[in-house]
Amino acid sequence: MSPPEAAYPPSAKKGWRTKTKLVLWTIGLTPILLFTLYTLFTLNFAYSEGFRAGVLQKFSLKGWMCKTYEGEIAQFVVAGVSPTIFEFSVRKQSVALKLDQLLGKKVNVHYRQHRGVPTTCFAATEYYVDSVSVVEDGNAQAPTP
């Protein structure tokens, strides 16, 4: 025989439902929050940074849904030896416009390496170029943003 409805006050039933909803929301939102914090961390703290110089041989806007600027620099060590290819991404529109005009020229770029970025919507590579300058007659200048 079950106890009459008056034995349990209505507030006890609502409290149970409220706690259940809170637990479900917490379980659902925790992974999203952790993913967001991890992404912000990887985008804001550089693993390494430096300069690379070479001939800018490729630069384009790529992606199906998330369009990103991607490029390649051929780094020649010695004439007659195949070059090392440095692949990079650009997030700043002003740097992308400058690189687009320098295609085929010897350039000096400043990059920051962001390891572990969880999606390619920010860039296809882990090297983000943030400034560029032209190398004229073997004299490299400091890149300007």
Residue 145 — pLDDT band, cuts 50, 70, 90? low
The predicted pLDDT at position 123 comes to: 84
The pLDDT, as a whole number, for residue 106 is 94
Q: Whole-number mean pLDDT of the chain?
A: 84
| pLDDT at residue 78 tops 90 | no
Mean pLDDT, range 83-111, rounded to an integer? 94
Q: How far apart are CA 140 and CA 132, in angstroms?
A: 11
Q: For the CA atoms of the chain, what is the radius of gyration?
A: 26
Least confident of 9-23, 70-84, 109-123: 9-23
CA 131 – CA 61 distance, rounded (Å): 17
End-to-end CA distance of the chain: 79
State the pLDDT at residue 6.
Answer: 56
pLDDT (0 to 100) of residue 76? 85
Burial class (CB in 10 A: 0-12, 13-18, 19+), 107: buried
Environment class of 143 (CB within 10 Å of its CB; exposed 0-12, middle 13-18, buried 19+) = buried
pLDDT-derived band at 61 (thresholds 50, 70, 90) equals very high
Is the pLDDT confidence value at 3 over 70?
no
